[in-house]
Amino acid sequence: MVGLCSKLRTRCWHSYRVKNVLHSPGRITAYPSVVENLTGLVTIHAMNHFKLEYFAVSLSILSVVWVDLSCTKKGPISPDDTAKMQIAVQDTLASEVWLEVSFPGRRDRQGVSREFTIERDGIQILSGKCIGPMAFVDDTTADPRHNYTYQAFQWDNSIAVDSTAPVLATTMDTTSHHFNFTTEILPGWTTSLLFDVSIINENSIWIVGSIYLLDSLGGKDPTPYCAAYWNGSKWTPKRFYYQGLKTTFLLDEIRGVCAFSDSDVWFAALSQLFHWDGTNLKMYQLWGGSIGTPLIQKLWGTSSNNLFGVGDSGAIVHFDGTTWQRIQSGVDVEIRDAWGGSNLLFGNNVVLFPASNKYEVGVEKILRFESSGQIDALIPWPYTKRLALSVWFDSHSPIYLCGQGIFEYRGGSGWHEITEVPLGVNNRIRGNGPNDIFVVGDFGVAAHYNGKTWRSYPEAELKFGLYESMAMKGNLVVAVGSNAPQGADAQAVVLWGRR
């Protein structure tokens, strides 16, 4: 037995190793209280940002080993605490099961701890103490597409005094890594750059950028296109014009696109936003039309009644279906992406914005916007001078972020770097679910997570280029960017990944 005197404090970190355990990672979380006396490798990271404390532990199935992290003795459960403990499956991923162990009806008195264990398929995988009414447990040792039975027991002086009914958990299956890739260097698209892509379906795709084609004599047409549309068989370049105060202007470059349907497409260009209904283009002037105002680079939303635009100098704007409103971000660096939804870590209707300048050292932050209209930077980013460029999550997953590397976030235990993919600058991360995530970046980096493992695709690499953005829907991945071999003009590139 190892006895260690420690108290949990905000932003404190302690690690201790105990012998005779399996070296397989697990995670245990106590809300709103504390879990201690965990078997195995104990890493305590207490954060009060979201009123959650996360604890990473190695799960032992060989023996019960206790690590006492408390300075004081905890008293036994009093006789009037008679309500039955419960265990519930909160969520399952391909290789994880999230459990909640609760002690309903028991008073959370100061100095009272409850010793408990958890068994999986009749084998003990965790032991600990809970100070408070409940504990969240993340079993990261599960296998994909597998049925597990979990049961929790409460102990007093080595005597089992309570137990839960067994609960069944079925993990998700992994998805296939087997994509067939085609790198399309668009013929005749000379000196062209592609910045963004949006998939409506496999027969309706928009790509945007600055596109120059050859004229009838084989020379460069000086009048650019700003978008192209895929109808299932070919790309059709598009020029858009919009009405100014006194004249009509050509929209020569588009940086961001978000398409909800063929008649509901949004474009971000310069300091303006545009809506295309399939026939007409409507302009929304931001910042009062002032010169030198921030550029909007990318768009994300759930509908045309809930749409965000992000860009230079910390620019964030929101459209509620009627008007665009600016949201003060509190930063002056680039914001290149937005993603939102509901998640176990943050609650409902939260939007995240990674903020950092790609081409110069500056501030790197993860901004969080809540439905209340408040924005903060309470999600810590510990990697100084490591870019934060794109973010993705869903209701079942950790938070995934890419930039100078790929990272995942599980709450108070902080960010963890994913090292299975070679280090590089990754510009976009998107997914269909927690077992189907894709990343692209500079020099043609392309990688996929299937819920269990990451795989990189050297066949998608670009020696002289990059993928600026990417969209994923079902079994289709489309990435866009540019390639500029030495001595040649930039060429527009579209990467197709079909599974």
In this predicted model, what pLDDT tens digit does every residue of 207-235 receive, in sequence order? 999 999 888 787 788 899 999 999 999 99
- Cis before 32 (ω within 30): yes
d(CA 31, CA 90): 14
Task: Please report whether residue 253 resides in a domain.
Answer: yes
Domain that holds residue 105: 2-170
Quick one: pLDDT at residue 41? 27
Count how many domains the chain has.
Answer: 2
Position 243 confidence tier, pLDDT thresholds 50, 70, 90: confident
- Whether 73 and 214 map to the same domain: the answer is no
What's the CA angle centered on 266, arms 472 and 406, to 5 degrees? 35
- Whether 417 and 461 map to the same domain: the answer is yes
- Whether 14 and 37 map to the same domain: the answer is yes
Residues in contact with 339: Cβ distance below 8 Å, sequence separation at least 6, in sequence order: 300, 351, 352, 391, 392, 393
Task: Please report whether residue 138 resides in a domain.
Answer: yes
- Whether 216 and 133 map to the same domain: the answer is no
3-state SS class at 312: helix
Task: Please report whether residue 468 resides in a domain.
Answer: yes
Q: Which two tokens stand for residue 268?
A: 């971000």
Q: Which two tokens stand for residue 252?
A: 């020569």
> At which of 124, 152, 170 does a domain end?
170
Q: How many CA atoms lie within 13 A of 135 on its CB side?
A: 29
d(CA 454, CA 411): 22
- CATH number, domain containing residue 89: 2.60.40.10
- Whether 301 and 445 map to the same domain: the answer is yes
What's the CA angle centered on 23, arms 20 and 28, to 5 degrees? 100
- Whether 156 and 196 map to the same domain: the answer is no
In this predicted model, what pLDDT tens digit does every residue of 84-106 receive, in sequence order? 899 999 889 999 999 999 987 65
- Whether 422 and 403 map to the same domain: the answer is yes
Mean pLDDT (the chain, rounded): 81
- CATH number, domain containing residue 357: 2.130.10.10
- Whether 463 and 322 map to the same domain: the answer is yes
Can you give the pTM of this predicted structure? 0.82
Residue predicted with more confidence, 275 or 66: 275
In this predicted model, what pLDDT tens digit does every residue of 440-484 receive, in sequence order? 999 999 999 999 999 999 999 998 999 999 999 999 999 999 998
> At which of 170, 198, 223 does a domain end?
170
Task: Please report whether residue 175 resides in a domain.
Answer: no
- Whether 246 and 166 map to the same domain: the answer is no
Task: Please report whether residue 219 resides in a domain.
Answer: yes
Residues in contact with 316: Cβ distance below 8 Å, sequence separation at least 6, in sequence order: 308, 309, 310, 326, 327, 328, 329, 335, 338, 353, 367, 369, 375
> At which of 129, 146, 170 does a domain end?
170
φ/ψ region of 148 (left if φ > 0, alpha if ψ in -120 to 50, else beta) reads beta
User: Which amino acid type is present at position 360?
Assistant: E
Task: Please report whether residue 273 resides in a domain.
Answer: yes
What's the CA angle centered on 281, arms 280 and 284, to 5 degrees? 140
Please name every residue paired with 354 in a beta bridge, in sequence order, or none if there are none: 366
- Whether 72 and 209 map to the same domain: the answer is no
Most confidently predicted of 343-347, 397-401, 483-487:
397-401
φ/ψ region of 15 (left if φ > 0, alpha if ψ in -120 to 50, else beta) reads beta
Residue predicted with more confidence, 400 or 345: 400
Q: Are residues 476 and 498 in contact, defined by beta-carbon separation less than 8 angstroms?
A: yes
DSSP for 175-196, written as a single string? PP--PEEEEEEEEEEEEEEEEE
- Whether 265 and 234 map to the same domain: the answer is yes
- Whether 284 and 243 map to the same domain: the answer is yes
Q: Which two tokens stand for residue 461?
A: 């690499």
Closest CA to 44 of 67, 75, 73: 67
In this predicted model, what pLDDT tens digit does every residue of 263-285 receive, in sequence order? 999 999 988 999 999 999 999 98
